[in-house]
Amino acid sequence: MRFRHRAAAGFATLLLPLAGLVGLAAPAHAATEATATYTKTQDWGTGFEGKWTVKNTGTTTISTWTVEWDFPSGTSVTSAWDADVTSSGTHWTAKNKSWNGSLAPGASVSFGFNGSGSGSPANCKLNGGSCDGGGTVPGDAAPSAPGTPTTSGVTSTSVKLSWSAATDDKGIKNYDVLRGGTKVATVTTTSYTDTGLTAGTDYSYTVQARDTADQTGPVSGAVSVRTTGGGTDPGPTSKVNLGYFTEWGVYGRNYHVKNLVTSGSASKITHINYAFGNVKNGQCVLDDSYAATDKAYTADQSVSGVADTWDQPLRGNFNQLRQLKAKYPNIKVLYSFGGWTYSGGFGQAAQNPTAFAKSCKAVVEDPRWADVFDGIDIDWEYPNACGLSCDTSGAAAFKNLMQALRTEFGSNYLVTAAITGDGSSGGKIDAADYGGASSYVDWYNVMTYDYFGAWANTGPTAPHSPLTSYSGIPTAGFNSADAIAKLKSKGVPSAKLLLGIGFYGRGWTGVTQSAPGGTATGAATGTYEAGIEDYKVLKNSCPVTGTVAGTAYAHCGSNWWSYDTPSTIAGKMTWAKNQGLGGAFFWEFSGDTSNGELVSAINNGLK
């Protein structure tokens, strides 16, 4: 997770005090291009939680959006997320964040807030025009939520859904049918048969009405259904198939624990690393408490199908993970501390390993979520070497830290570590006693990716996750096979090594040569960070051109990307089994397709 972890710092800034937000300028867009609808998602008497949804109903992309409304005296916004909210008296203005302002035709985005008082918004304006997409005077109310769907006619590949009609002051135009939160159909009736499903698989459905002005109302309650059959799928592999779930992914990526269910991935994994806890003053600490323990989920967003309440003791990701474990009892969850961004605190922790271990156990075993976690993972990048910062703790520091954690946590907890995949002579594996520390860990997640990337902005182009060496590789030892071989030579048992897979690609631009080794002018454009893009995007935007060293590359236009596919993952899993490895892990869930094809490839390949 060499450069991948930088995203944590960016998303951690999403929640800001209202007093620190800057003023907003109204963008110039025609009123007919979009709608804004409001729903009150929770109400606890003296306060409430509200949500606005902005939808592009036009034919061209909207680059920015601003929603304005009036609250009656005594009602106000106290905190907000996914938008910058300011006020002037009783008039409130919300402007998009830097990452969610662009809306393609038909796309929508939501932002939420907590409020005090009991009033409702009035005089809504979107980009200076009417929030209902017409005229200049608001007045067309959004439709109500349809009834919760019921299911019938369930087969191995299909299910029929029926629901009661929504109501609207101007009339209902049609309904969107959502499977796992993703629209799969638009119909004019109150029933729909969803086909092409997978046997023996869990699905969740909701329905949303649209009125004649193309305004969408709140989604219905969710119904869960399992298709019949599926006896040919024995479930998750007996080897470790572990995925990282990022704490900050619930913001810009809009990726939540429930996505593990709707994608089918939850039935195919064995472990989850929750990333990341921070390391400060030599101690383990909770990082983003809003995402981890406070964020409220509605019924359709939650794994259980039950909405969070304002007074329940635990919400957020931790509560959703609790619900996931209830649904899939085989899954074990580890709390991972460190990562690229937060590894700077390990040097101080290494000065007093015993105190560090005690602080970590106090966080993992906090009474509010003690049942959620089955162990701890340490992602120190890198002991006695350089990552975002350089560590000089000495070769024995990592072993001492892992020994203290095992002593503190005992044999009933999993104790693991993500470690470097640098197999070069005198490289990062040689800098710390990974062999000696291995007797205290259940396994190592060997980060066999991020070997090459556009931080070398002129190239040469090279696959970021080569399985083996190849002619022309820019750095000897920067491949999975050399890293695994070196760790084995230092006494790490094969069964305690997991092969790392990236669910993303790294790429350059200004490239004319299709084969690896070409020159470049810089990093290719990525959705969240230059030089990096999710597999789910790349598989369509830049399809594979060829393979090298057991992984894929793609040359499209002037861009050159490398990434793993189901086919290359199958080859890597065969190699991992032949090496006697304990399994595989991946970074991270949200890079996969909505049906979890990379998770499936790992699971199938390890069987």
Q: Mind telling me the catalytic residues?
A: 381
Cα 353 to the center of its chain, rounded Å = 31
Query: Please, how many CA atoms are within 13 Å of residue 605, restricted to the half-sphere of its CB?
Result: 28
Cα(479)–Cα(465) distance, rounded to whole angstroms?
Answer: 7
| Residue whose token pair is 């106290």 | 78
Cα(466)–Cα(422) distance, rounded to whole angstroms?
Answer: 12
Cα(349)–Cα(385) distance, rounded to whole angstroms?
Answer: 15
Q: Which residues of 56-86 are buried (b: 16+ CB within 10 A; e: fewer)?
A: bbbeeebebbbbbbbbeeebbbeebbbbbbb
Distances (CA, A) of 166 to 169, 176, 181, 349, 508: 11, 12, 19, 57, 49
| Residue whose token pair is 């005594």 | 74
Record the tokens describing residue 564, joined without a space.
Answer: 């793993």
SS3 of 78, please? strand
**DSSP bridge pairs for 552:** 547, 563
Cα(417)–Cα(492) distance, rounded to whole angstroms?
Answer: 13
Cα(353)–Cα(300) distance, rounded to whole angstroms?
Answer: 43
Given the DSSP bridges, would you call strands 191-194 and 202-211 parallel, antiparallel or unpaired?
A: unpaired
Residue 369 Ramachandran class (φ > 0 left, ψ -120 to 50 alpha, else beta)? alpha
SS3 of 385, please? coil
CA dihedral of residues 24, 25, 31, 37 (deg, nearest 10): 0
User: Contact, 331 vs 324, CB < 8 A?
Assistant: yes
Record the tokens describing residue 282, joined without a space.
Answer: 């030599």
Q: Which residues of 382-402 are buried (b: 16+ CB within 10 A; e: fewer)?
A: bbbbebbeebebeebbbbbbb
Ordered alpha helix ranges (H), 254-352: 258-262, 289, 316-327, 339-342, 346-349
Cα(5)–Cα(390) distance, rounded to whole angstroms?
Answer: 16
Record the tokens describing residue 378, joined without a space.
Answer: 């340490």
Q: Residue 313: is the preceding peptide bond cis (ω within 30°)? A: no
Cα 184 to the center of its chain, rounded Å = 21
